[in-house]
Chains A and B, each alone.
Chain A
Amino acid sequence: MNETLRQCPQCNAPLPPNAPQGLCPRCLLNAAAAPPEGIPGDIIDIGDAAEVAKALPQFEIIALLGQGGMGVVYKARQIVLDRVVALKILPPADAFSPDFVERFRREARSLAKLNHPNIVNVYDFGETGSLYYIIMEFVDGANLRQLFQARKLTSAEALAIVPKICDALQYAHEEGLVHRDIKPENLLIDKKGRVKIADFGLAKLLRREPLDMTLTLSGTALGTLRYMAPEQMDKPETVDHRADLYSLGVVIYEMLTGETPVGRYELPSQKAQVDVRFDEIVLHALEREPDRRYQHASQVRDDVEKVTGKPVAPQSPAVPQPPALKSADNSPATAAPKPSPRHLLSAFLVLLMLVGISFGFSFHANHSGSAAGLTKIITVGALDPLYTRESGPSGFQTGINFFSWSFFAVVVAGITFGALWRIGREDQGKVPRDPAWWRDWWKQVGVWGGLLLIVCIVRTVMDPAKVLQAPGDRTVSANYSKQLGSASVPPLGTITNGIGAEFTVPAGQVAFLEIVTRKDNATVPVPPHCAYVLAGEGPIAGTFRWSREPEQKDGPFRRWRIELVSEAGTGSTGGIALPEALDAVVGARGLGLGVLEPNEETIHWGTADVDNLPANGLSGLRVTTVAHNLKTGGTGIATTEWKKAQPKNKP
């Protein structure tokens, strides 16, 4: 312990032995109690050109260019190099923060590395005593704010510089530098119309994040706040280059409308006569979440150029407008109708809907309209709900069929109708024009439409028959096709109750009949059943007797025995007569004639496949026999049995 009595150099009082850090505790307390010091006398007033000139004799101060939160800028001549420069002197208050000097040197170095025609060049930096300054390229012109105020710039002219700003930002961002304070004051335009971004990175150097500023500064800072990205307020430590893109969005908005977007702002196209595509650009740039914003300045440039580069772009600025209209309430209501791309969109959607619907129906028509004889039979099943459900595909297959082309058409129609409805409501002003809604819409359309399309295509390629046929008749029709080849015969005409219509069955052909019955006397029609007759060697005319076997009732279905009662031998006309006793038969019709392959022994109606129905996971009606043995039976009897299958395990 040093016991020598020491004195405080400040108050001359003896120092106590336990003085903290060897400093006089009273003076220490006094130093804290003293009123906050202002800038010491020997610190230069950077706003005073004469004082600055005295402190920096290497410069000849020509004029004061500007003064603000980021310091003072002089137009000065660097005497040694005899060049005119912009001399930026940083605010002295910042020089007092402990790590300022390092920060200043580090940042100034990285700024000096930036070399881009649209960024104000940093030549050099230096410090003299308490004075820290940056020597920059002098831009002979004005900043965007001054041009706005002097009304020297039309919005089209202003927009023309946006791509240049984007280029410069893109370059700096790639170099890892964020401006953090993009605003019209920092966008300089020289006399040749070239734009240059000033004060790059200065906000970071001076730690001028908005939180600081609201505490330490007032007017200038608040002016700047309007251009700051939300995250600069909320989470300054997370700020990255996308904050600049937000600020750029504000600047573009101001270029378009003359105002900055505040709170629930109107879209540019609602405030001024500008291309509606700018709405999208501005909204995208002004997204609160940086992730949802533009990610690169080059994207902003591309989008802006897309709009400005096309003839539909902003109203020609060259057209002189009456001043009253320009300044006064130029409400959208009084404005001339805009050439709106929305109309094109509407037309496109209608077209898409029509194409989708006709596309789907054309498939339907395809398999119902061609090959008359055969396909009509096919539709028998399809038209019959019970038949379809009971003997048709299982749940799984029905599910897949669901995604067939006709369903695709319905979906396309649905989503396009949704979009048209939305457009209508937006145009009526019932809902705001919200690009986010449309983005979501396109996303949904893309995902679901695309998925559906893929399913349809894959299914069509894998098994066209399954997709392009009506559901439920696959098995039957497949066998018809197989057995009868490409039969193409005229329909046989309608057979009314009990009275057989006469028809001719040529040799080697088969007639197919559809008989509609009802269950007992119930009014609900029993699904149509199909029967067929076979022709003999020559054309025959036959009458069929229908008998019922009540003991074999099975649900709503009947087991029918179809018996050929008389044969005409070589007669050339045939017919069908339904007995009056069979009052449940409400109608019958001959569906057509099929060609019988000569070497076939048996005509099957789905025999093989039908037997396999349970194995296929199908349930419902089971057709046990629909056959006629040509060899042993001659022109014998065809029997159709309909049986409801035992319920299979659910797939």
Chain B
Amino acid sequence: MTTRDAAPYFATTRWSVVLAAGGAGKGGERALAELCRGYWYPLYAYVRRQGNAPHDAEDLTQEFFARLIEKGWLGDVGRERGKFRSWLLTAMKHFLANEWDRARAQKRGGGGVVSFDALTAEQRYAAEPVDGAGAERLFDRSWALQLLERVLSRLQAEFETQGKARAFEELKATILGDAAPLAEIAARLGTSVSAVKAAAHRLRHRYRELLRAEIAETVPLAADIDDELAHLFSALSE
């Protein structure tokens, strides 16, 4: 959970498990499937932005995951111990370049190994700004948003299990920084400003923990967390 900066290698994070397994064995496979489940949308967005129709994009993404997980592609692509995000994108490019025709020829029927709702995917894709950004940038941007979405949901869930869903709704803005109107929040929650301050501090602390842990799952080294953060930040800029 906590990011131990001293640890040189995350022996237990999913991506490091995948890398260590070298694609072989159930452990690596399961960890990879878990990871893919969390980040299928950025890939879908990438494939769509490449100019594929929604239906094709869905098939291609599914097929990609199928090959990745079921057919042990990992051995080929996972040699350099990079970040999961860049590795996944490289693998997808590779897939699109080489497997294009064959994938289309043998259309998969029904659900794939990583289930996702094509309708939601397409809805989300529709919400993407039409700013002419390249597919690769879209991939990174969606990735960053996906990451934040996951972390915030987890944080929200933690509050909800403590019966503090409303507090979370009010307090979540304080994560961003000190611009949040503390007095208003305090008034709405019926508590003191200092209590809100303390709660905000706790929330931000926890958020930071969760986010860094989430990133840690996708990078091989603890030192890479800040690097990945910076990269995603820049992807969101522009």
Contacts and interface: CB of A to CB of B under 8 A. Distances in A.
Are A and B bound to each other? yes
Interface of A: 1, 8-10, 16-21, 23-34, 36-37, 40, 42-43, 95-100, 102, 128-130, 215
A195 B230 CA distance: 58
User: Among A37, A128, A129, which residue has the most Cβ atoms of chain B within 10 A?
Assistant: A129
B145 A23 contact: no
B70 to A, nearest CB: 31
B197 A97 contact: no
Nearest to A42: B197
A340 B226 CA distance: 68
Contact of B198 (A16, A17, A27, A43): A43
A23 B198 contact: no
Nearest to A44: B194
B149 interface: yes
Contacts of B195: 129-130
Interface in B147-164: 148-149, 152, 156, 158-159, 162
Given A16-B129, A98-B159, A25 B144 contact: yes
A43 B196 CA distance: 12
B152 A23 contact: yes
A129 B198 contact: yes
Contacts of B204: 31, 37
Contacts of B135: none
B233 A26 contact: yes
Contacts, number: 111
A32 B211 contact: yes
A42 B194 contact: yes
B34 interface: no
B175 A31 contact: yes
B201 A33 contact: no
A95 B202 contact: yes
Contact of A9 (B158, B176, B205, B208): B176
28 contacts: A9-B180, A19-B145, A20-B145, A21-B172, A25-B144, A25-B148, A26-B237, A28-B148, A28-B152, A28-B211, A29-B144, A29-B211, A31-B176, A31-B204, A32-B229, A37-B204, A37-B205, A42-B194, A42-B197, A43-B197, A43-B201, A95-B198, A96-B201, A96-B205, A97-B202, A98-B158, A129-B195, A129-B197
Contact of A29 (B156, B173, B194, B232): B232
Contact of A23 (B144, B158, B173, B205): B173
B57 to A, nearest CB: 18
A443 B128 CA distance: 78
A40 B197 contact: yes
B212 A31 contact: no
A170 B217 CA distance: 47
B127 interface: yes
Contacts of B226: 33
Interface in B198-220: 198, 201-202, 204-208, 211-212
Given A17-B127, A18-B128, A19-B145, 20 more contacts: A1-B127, A9-B173, A9-B176, A9-B179, A21-B156, A23-B175, A25-B144, A25-B145, A26-B233, A27-B176, A28-B152, A32-B211, A34-B208, A37-B201, A40-B197, A43-B197, A43-B198, A96-B201, A96-B205, A99-B162
B192 interface: yes
Given A23-B152, A23-B175, A32 B144 contact: no
B175 A29 contact: no
A8 B176 contact: yes
Interface string B158-192: 11001000000000110111011000000000001
A127 to B, nearest CB: 8
B81 interface: no
Contacts of A99: 162
Contacts of A18: 124, 127-128, 145
Contacts of B152: 20-21, 23, 28
Given A96-B205, A130-B194, A33 B180 contact: no
B146 to A, nearest CB: 9
Given A40-B197, A98-B159, A129-B195, A29 B233 contact: yes
A218 to B, nearest CB: 14
Contact of B148 (A1, A20, A96, A102): A20
B97 to A, nearest CB: 29
Given A9-B180, A18-B145, A33 B198 contact: no
